């Protein structure tokens, strides 16, 4: 009794997956557009621009990292009203 049900489910899933593949292939673009031609180049150039700007900022602008307030901040006197 379980075997025919499993066979039906398997055949139904195969037919459904074939239909999905055919539907996906119908949505492909016939020719390349701007994003296909220049997309990766724009991503790489944008990343490079931002990375170079970041490196310039870090090395040339005098950024001091991890400044600890210990020893620099003194508590103010408490004022009672």
pLDDT (tens, 9 = 90+) of the chain, 81 residues, equals 557 766 666 666 666 676 676 666 666 666 778 888 889 999 999 999 999 999 888 888 776 766 676 767 777 888 876
Give domain status of residue 2, yes or no.
no
The domain containing residue 51 runs over which residues?
Answer: 34-60
pLDDT of 42 reads: 94
Q: Is residue 41 part of a domain?
A: yes
Q: What pTM was estimated for this model as a whole?
A: 0.41
Distance CA 78, CA 74 (A): 12
| Inside any domain, residue 40 | yes
- Is residue 4 assigned to a domain? no
pLDDT at 50: 96
In a domain, 49, yes or no: yes
Q: Count of domains in the chain?
A: 1
The verdict on residue 42 lying in a domain is yes
C-alpha to C-alpha distances, 68 to 9, 24, 53, 72, nearest whole angstrom: 66, 57, 26, 8
């Amino acid at each position: 009794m379980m075997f025919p049900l499993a066979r039906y489910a398997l055949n139904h899933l195969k037919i459904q997956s074939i239909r999905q593949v055919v539907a996906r292939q119908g949505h492909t673009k016939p020719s390349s557009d701007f994003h296909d031609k220049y997309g990766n180049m724009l991503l790489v150039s944008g990343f490079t621009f931002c990375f170079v700007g970041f490196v310039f900022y870090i090395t040339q602008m005098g950024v001091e990292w991890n400044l600890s307030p210990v020893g620099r901040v003194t508590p103010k006197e408490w004022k009672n009203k």
